[in-house]
Each structure stands twice: as C-alpha cells, then as structure tokens.
Amino acid sequence: MSLSTLSHPAAAAAAAGSGKSLSPAVPAGYLLRLPKTRPHVPAAVSAATAAVHADSAEDRVSALSQVSGVLGSQWGDEGKGKLVDVLAPRFDIVARCQGGANAGHTIYNAEGKKFALHLVPSGILHEGTLCVVGNGAVIHVPGFFGEIDGLESNGVRCDGRILVSDRAHLLFDLHQVVDGLREAELENSFIGTTKRGIGPCYSSKVTRNGLRVCDLRHMDTFGDKLDVLFKDAASRFQGFEYSKSMLKEEVERYKRFAERLEPFIADTVHVLNESIQQKKKILVEGGQATMLDIDFGTYPFVTSSSPSAGGICTGLGIAPRVVGDLIGVVKAYTSRVGSGPFPTELFGEEGDRLRKAGMEFGTTTGRPRRCGWLDVVALKYCCQINGFSSLNLTKLDVLSGMSEIKVGVSYNQADGQKLQSFPGDLDTLEQVQVNYEVLPGWQSDISSVRSYNELPQAARHYVERIEELVGVPVHYIGVGPGRDALIYK
Ligand code: GDP
Ligand code: IMO
Ligand code: MG
C-alpha cells in the first residue's frame, strides 16, 4: 500500500514521516518478529546496569517499540501527560484509546506555559506529531472544540493535526445531566464521578442506542436517533426535562458541529494500521488507570472504560502482537479522587502534608485528591495485568523532607491471614490491614537533580526498593512538573 492511498491528508503526512523514523536499534521487519511476550528485565539486572542506562537514556527512548504505551498504574493523575509530552518527539503519532474528558493531563511547553488537556492527546505541543482520538474514546464535541480553541489561542496549531475516529461515540450534554442525576440518586454511596457524562455515554454504547461520530454525516436521521436517547433518559429520571424544542435545538447545534468536525473525522483504524505498515511509531496515551478499570479496578468505584493494556487494542483497532513496550506511570506515593477503597490512605495532618506538597487538586474538577503511601500490592497487580516493561516513578521530589517514608507491601485479611493478591471483593478490600515497610527519607531538595547518581542515597534506595518489590525496572523518575524535570535511570 503506498503512502498516497492513505485517505486523510494529515494521516498521509504522518505516514510520509516527520523526520522521525524507527531507530537503528529496531530492525526493518521488526513487526513480524515481535516476541509473543514482552521481555521482562529483572530488577537485579536493572540495578546492576544503572550506570550504563544513565548514559544511554537517548538510545533507550529511541529503542521503545514501534507501538508503545504510557498507562496509569494507580487511581489516575500519576503524571501520564508529562511523560507522553516528553516522549512524543520520538513518535509520529500519539493516540488516546479510551475515556473522555474525565481525563486531565497537565503538560508544560518549553517556556513553562501550562496546558491542561482532557481529550486532545498530550503530543499536541509537538508540531510534527499527529494526534489521534480512537474509537474507544467518547467525544463531547463542544468540549473538544473548547479545548482546541484554548490551544489555538495559546499558539498551538491544531488544524490538520488531530484525527477523531468515525467509530468513537458521541457524548452529549444529556449524558452529563444523567451522570449528575445518577450520582444524586446514589446519595451516600456516590462514586464521585467527574460528572463529565462518561458512565452514561458508555452505557448508551453498550445498550446500543448510542450515536457515533459517523452519525454526524447523516443529519437526516440524526434527530431520530437522538430522540431515542433523550426519551430513554426522560423515562428513567423524573428530574430529566425533555421537550421536542430541546431536541430541535440540539440537532441544529450539532449540524454546525458536524460541519466543523468533518475535517477531523477519519477511519482511524485504517490510518493506524497503515501507519504501522509504514513503520511509523505510535505512542498510546492512557487516560485514568488500571485501578479505575471497569474490569480490574475497585468496582463499582471505577470509570466506565478499560484504561489497562487491553483497552489499547479494543480502543484503537490494532492487533495485540503489534503492541510492544508499555510504561507504567506511578506516583512515588498514592492519590485518588472520588470515592472507593484506598488501603494506604493517610488522614489528618499526614494526608494534608502530602496533598499540599504534591499540590494534589484535580486537573479536571479541582477537587482535593485523597493521598496516601505507595501501595505495592496494588502496583504489582497493575504490573501483572499490563506487563509493563518499565515504570516512570513520578513526583519523587514531593517526598523530600520526610524523616521516613512508608511503603505498603502486603495486606492481611480481617482474620490475620495474608492475602496472596489484590482482592476483587470490595468487602475484603475494605477490611484489609496493610503491612508497611519503613524506609529512610532524605532532607535535600531534589527538584534540580538530573542524574540518577546525584540523588541522595536514601532516594536511590527508595527507587531500588520499589524495583525489587515490584520486579519491574524504573526507567524514568519525575522530580518536578516541568518537561526537563526528569531523570533517566
Ligand atoms: P495525569 O492525569 O496522569 O496526566 O496527571 P495529572 O496531570 O492529572 O496530575 C499530575 C500532576 O503532577 C500535574 O499537576 C503535573 O504537572 C504534576 N507532575 C507530574 N510529574 C511530576 C513530578 O515528577 N513532580 C512534581 N512535583 N509534579 C509532577
Ligand atoms: P486522568 O486521565 C483521576 C475517577 C473519578 C471517579 C471515577 C469515575 O487524569 O488520570 P468518571 O467521571 O470516569 O465516571 O469517574 O474515576 N476518575 C479519575 N481520577 N484521574 C482521572 O483521569 C480520572 N478519570 C476519572 O474521580 O472516582
Ligand atoms: Mg489527571
């Protein structure tokens, strides 16, 4: 298939290349020889070769697989956006595969200007990178345009640089209203959603009365389909107001959106698979995290999509065998927004201290995040599910100044028995007693350290103990929010 057969001009441009190519470390025909299982680097090996790694950070980033991913390994807000922004110049495409504007990914440009992204992939600040919003994501079109307008008014060109899947589901204002009504109904057991309409939109998708981006190309039937959705909500919720004039207004509004969205719409399944054939590099950006996964998270206190590895294939339409390195992003401690179990949570002054030091307030909702110690039981579970090839330990700088740091290493059940794995049953989880390991802290500010060997000994010990406990090497260490505040280990 030649480059010119790619239907979309932006896709063709990406396939034609932006000067980025597979590194020589990735031989031609690599795709055909992808190992069935990702190579697992034991922690001991990683520690022994730390010095070599530090020297070859560039090579290591270049050697990331043709299709790589950055996924959250806790309850979200680990700092996924920052790593994606840092790695994006080495990739042709950055793609979101699930979730919607419930995500809030904070990134900074070279001048230190802050951007909070929700649906637009975090590769957008790099001119040569094509951004793709895949079929597994849910799109609130007015919110999407609001985000684009915000980026454009800050000098970030979006035109021709973002593709939205024609198969992605449309998230309407009505889904957001229903999200609020559902939460109100739950009273004391509310989930604490972002109220962005995520659950109701994925419900429409699964119920099979949802509308997709491609429906915007059939405005003659759009109103009838939307009517079904409105009626569904009105019949379910007393507080849901609906009238024919509302439908008419919404259809008129969407006619205008349809026109504006048209240049962004593409068959992204085709685009991505063609790009893979053309040896282009794709970085998948996860939203949320495995502990919020609809299947693997602390159900029902989860989101409604699959933020773990499986969501990459279903959310982009690419085959499992093309997916290579997956980097798990993990905060040096833990945070969670919304309700649900959080075994290592800290309350009172201790929790406040972490929240303040880490500026733990939601990017999407501004809500204070609950904070606690790193939970290795949950992290190991995430590593099992996703098969991470490496970890990005973020916000290590936030732990500076603590006399000691605790790490949750195992759970005991109420009867004192040690649990073998992260429990699926919430009743069990809510009653676990966490066993902690206490590690020494460090007092100096590490936010300007850029080389692993210059970190205080106690900080290196903390990193290496995590590697040992989890069995996955830490290749990236965040010591501040800025692009450059990253140590390659
Ligand atoms: P995401 O949703 O996983 O992309 O993470 P968020 O952007 O919601 O939250 C992470 C927050 O921590 C943002 O405010 C980032 O700017 C900030 N951040 C990311 N990495 C680091 C780090 O290593 N140190 C510090 N101090 N802040 C960081
Ligand atoms: P990023 O991508 C942190 C949480 C909500 C709530 C639960 C369900 O920035 O890491 P939803 O609106 O999805 O139905 O809410 O999931 N949640 C997040 N928490 N970071 C996120 O995204 C989140 N997206 C959803 O707080 O507990
Ligand atoms: Mg976030």
152 or 47, which is more confident? 152
Query: For a pLDDT cut of 90, what percent of the chain falls above it?
Result: 86
Whole-number pLDDT of residue 29: 31
Residue 9 scores a pLDDT above 50: no
| 291-339 confidence digits (pLDDT tens) | 999 999 999 999 999 999 999 999 999 999 999 999 999 999 999 999 9
Residue 98 annotated as lining a ligand binding site: no
pLDDT digits (tens, 9 = 90+) for 40-86: 333 333 333 444 444 577 888 999 999 999 999 999 999 999 999 99
> What atom of ligand 1 comes closest to residue 363's alpha carbon?
8
Tell me the C-alpha to C-alpha distance, in Å, between residue 361 and each of 113, 327, 368, 369, 400. 19, 24, 4, 5, 19
Q: Are strands 474-478 and 433-440 parallel, antiparallel or unpaired?
A: unpaired
103 C-beta closer than 6 A to ligand 2: yes
Q: What are the CB-based long-range contacts (under 8 Å, 24+) for 22-27?
A: 22/66, 22/279, 22/281, 23/59, 23/62, 23/63, 25/59, 25/62, 25/63, 26/63, 26/65, 26/66
**Cα 463 to ligand 1 centre (Å):** 18
Distances (CA, A) of 220 to 210, 214, 244, 264, 458: 17, 13, 16, 21, 65
Which pLDDT does position 28 carry in this prediction?
A: 32
Q: 479 among the known binding-site residues?
A: yes
pLDDT at position 362 is: 86
Above 70 in pLDDT, residue 7?
no
Torsion angle (degrees, nearest 10) of CA 181, 186, 190, 196: -20
pLDDT score, position 57: 79
Q: For 412-444, what is each residue's pLDDT tens digit?
A: 999 999 999 999 999 999 999 999 999 999 999
> Where do the DSSP E strands lie in 183-292?
265-266, 282-285
pLDDT-wise least confident of 52-56, 140-144, 219-223, 231-235 = 52-56
Which one of the ligands is nearest to 303 CA?
A: 2
**Tokens (6 digits) for 157:** 């060109």
What per-residue string of b and e applies to 78-94 under the rule 16 or more CB within 10 Å gives b?
A: bbbbbbbbbbbbbbbbb
Q: How many CA atoms lie within 13 A of 135 on its CB side?
A: 18
Confidence of residue 346 (pLDDT cuts 50, 70, 90): very high
Quickly count: other Cβ atoms within 10 Å of residue 243's Cβ. 10
383 lines ligand 2 (CB under 6 A): no
Q: What is the pLDDT of residue 49?
A: 40
Angle between the N-to-C axes of helices 244-261 and 141-153, in degrees from 0 to 180, rounded to the nearest 10: 40
Q: Which residue has the tokens 């959080």?
A: 342
Catalytic residue annotation: 77, 105, 205
| pLDDT band, very low/low/confident/very high, at 365 (cuts 50, 70, 90) | confident
Q: How far apart are CA 136 and CA 201, in angstroms?
A: 12
- Model confidence band, residue 402 (pLDDT cutoffs 50, 70, 90): very high
Q: Which ligand is nearest to the CA of 287?
A: 2
Average per-residue pLDDT for the chain = 90
- Among protein residues, the one with the nearest Cα to ligand 2's atom 6 is 193
303 Cα: distance to centroid of ligand 2 (angstroms): 6
72: tokens are 């959250």
Q: What is the pLDDT of residue 366?
A: 87
pLDDT classification of 17: cutoffs 50, 70, 90: very low
Give, as one character, the DSSP assignment of residue 441. Answer: -
Judge if the beta carbon of residue 104 lies within 6 A of ligand 1.
yes
371 within 8 A of 360, measured Cβ to Cβ: yes
Long-range Cβ contact pairs of 206-212 (< 8 A, separation 24 or more): 207/232, 210/169, 210/170, 211/169, 211/170, 211/172, 212/166, 212/167, 212/168, 212/169, 212/170
| Dihedral sign for Cα atoms in the order 214, 218, 222, 228 | negative
Residue 19 has pLDDT above 60, yes or no: no
Per residue in 232-275, pLDDT (tens digit) is 999 999 989 999 999 999 999 999 999 999 999 999 999 999 99
Identify the DSSP state of 118: S
- Name the closest-CA residue to atom 15, ligand 2: 193
**Are 441 and 373 spatial neighbours (Cβ–Cβ below 8 Å)?**
no
CA 168 vs. chain centroid, Å, equals 17
pLDDT digits (tens, 9 = 90+) for 447-456: 999 999 999 9
The owner of tokens 């034991």 is 42
